[in-house]
A and B are shown apart, each in its own frame.
Chain A
Amino acid sequence: MSEDVSCRAIEPELATVAAGEGRAGAAERVERHVARCAPCRDELERYRAVEGMLGSLRRAPLADDDATLSRAQLASRLADLRSRILGFAVFPSPLGRVLIGRSEQGVAVVQYVPEGGALPAHVRRLLGDDAVEDRAATEDLWAELLEYLRGDRARLEWPLDLRRMRSDFQRRVLEATAALPYGAVTSYAGIAMRIGVPAAARPVAQALRWNPLPIIIPCHRVIGSAGTLTGYAGHRVDLKQRLLAVEGVKTVAAGGALRIRREAMYCLVNGEREYCLPSCGSALTDSLAGLTLFGTRAGAEAAGLQPCGSCRPDLHPLAA
């Protein structure tokens, strides 16, 4: 009697022994108890009967157990998720930490992110709910971006996913910006002219401020109409200067701001196919909006332009 356990305490073991899952010694304890205790013997049998019923229930067909339609819906929702989902990772670069995110369609997000800590709210918004960290998916892009930032590569020919545009206006602004050649600059008003809304210089600046793909869509090539490097990645005009320097566009500090040296750049009057010296004809007087300026002849010629037949920049190149 001394090692016997009460009926209440044995019940959990009756149940587990009935289910065939009793732990060490349980079967023996139960056996000893029910040998003396008729009510618990019955109880053990009842638990065995319950297990038998549960086994039947487990094997019995279930009403509404046809997963075919649900599976088909899942396939379509997964396909949709796959096309939306972003794989992203944060990489070091000469310009600081850069986040690169790509979807099945193409590169969707490139953002500067501060050292350490969580991602800023605007970056998380751009990533959306369907972003997963995926270094393997973005590492090749990072390698090409580094080549670009070293000046070893003039183009990043990445398929782009432009579904994160805020508006059709922003899309037009960014498309016009993407068309600016390597090594060239124009003004916000210049982009506004190109998209047929010449008065919209400020909205253009706003649209570029929320560029989801800086560097790739080269908003650093768009500057103030006075030639100053204004707003970039918050207050990181220094990054804008470095990106332009990689492309051969020199800047100088003047009056507390950085500006291009228009007098030291080759000019393209919009709509022309020839580039000029800054002293040539209308290039001299036109506002920056009507021009595209190149830091080097090589840049202008890489953009498919010919030297002007009058001012002959090929014979009288600007001092380097």
Chain B
Amino acid sequence: MADDAFEAVVGSHHAEIRRYLLRVTARASDADDLSQETFLRAFRAFRGLPPGANVRAWLFAIATNLGRNHFRALARRRRAYAVAARDASPAAAAGADGRAMADEAQTRIAEVIAGLPEKQRLAFVMRKMHELDYADIGASLQCSEDSARAHVFQALRKVRRGLDGHLSLAMESRT
């Protein structure tokens, strides 16, 4: 019954919600706690969810709400992580020659993201890393779809500005 359906929800979405929280909190332990808390809350409310609801977007909204208080206290930690990430930067999908450049650019992106105002950061990660619709991002952040677009654009513009000096190389490697 409802419990089995919820097991399926956990199976389909827990890893992604944790990844989202990992991206925005930058700490595995926070991502663990908050992702679990997200699903415990979701379990309580699951019976009341209308049939046909977008469960994934609903879970992102719960995770976002849960995280927002948490995030405020973490502003300093995030910046520290961005520096640490320089040493543990993920492998980039670029070719061998472009690799060092891509790693550096991605570290720079991570730093800029970490320094964004909260709503911009959340909106940006939801859109650019998890490809959520603007309407769902708006629902998560309790703002309009247009505001969600504006948050993503403001974030994107900062990321773009933050990459001055990295982009000419990247543009050459694209051609």
The interface of chain A, by Cβ under 8 A from chain B, is 11-12, 15-16, 19, 45-50, 52-54, 56-65, 67, 69-71, 73-75, 77-78, 81-82, 85, 130, 132-134
Contact = CB atoms under 8 A, between A and B. Distances in A.
Given A70-B18, A73-B32, A62 B44 contact: no
Nearest to A76: B36
Interface string B154-167: 00110110010001
Nearest to A60: B90
Secondary structure of the B side of the interface?
helix
Interface stretch (B51-59, B66-74, B102-110): B102-110
Interface string B118-148: 0000000000110100000000000000000
Contacts of B79: none
Centre residue among A45, A48, A49, A63 by max chain B CB count within 10 A:
A49
A-B pairs with the 5 shortest C-beta distances?
A64-B28, A70-B32, A56-B93, A60-B90, A49-B170
Contacts of B91: 60-61
Secondary structure of the A side of the interface?
helix
B4 interface: no
Contacts of B90: 57, 60-63
A81 B35 CA distance: 15
A70 B31 contact: yes
7 contacts: A47-B160, A50-B156, A53-B106, A56-B106, A60-B91, A75-B10, A133-B48
A287 B59 CA distance: 63
A50 B90 CA distance: 17
B171 interface: yes
B128 A56 contact: no
B36 A70 contact: yes
B5 interface: no
Contacts of A47: 156, 160
B100 interface: no
A60 B106 contact: yes
Contacts of B32: 69-70, 73
A63 B160 CA distance: 24
Contact of B22 (A62, A71, A78, A81): A62
A11 B157 contact: yes
Contacts of A58: 128-129, 131
B92 interface: yes
Contacts of B22: 62, 64-65
B102 A67 contact: no
Given A15-B153, A132-B47, A57 B106 contact: yes
Nearest to B164: A46
A11 B28 CA distance: 36
B18 A52 contact: no
Contacts of B170: 49, 52-53
B35 A15 contact: no
Contacts of A53: 102, 105-106, 109, 163, 170
A74 B171 contact: no
A47 B88 CA distance: 26
Given A62-B19, A63-B88, A67-B15, A78 B109 contact: no
B43 to A, nearest CB: 6
Nearest to B160: A50
B157 A15 contact: yes
Nearest to B85: A63
A54 B10 CA distance: 27
A86 to B, nearest CB: 11
Centre residue among B15, B31, B167 by max chain A CB count within 10 A:
B167
B116 to A, nearest CB: 14
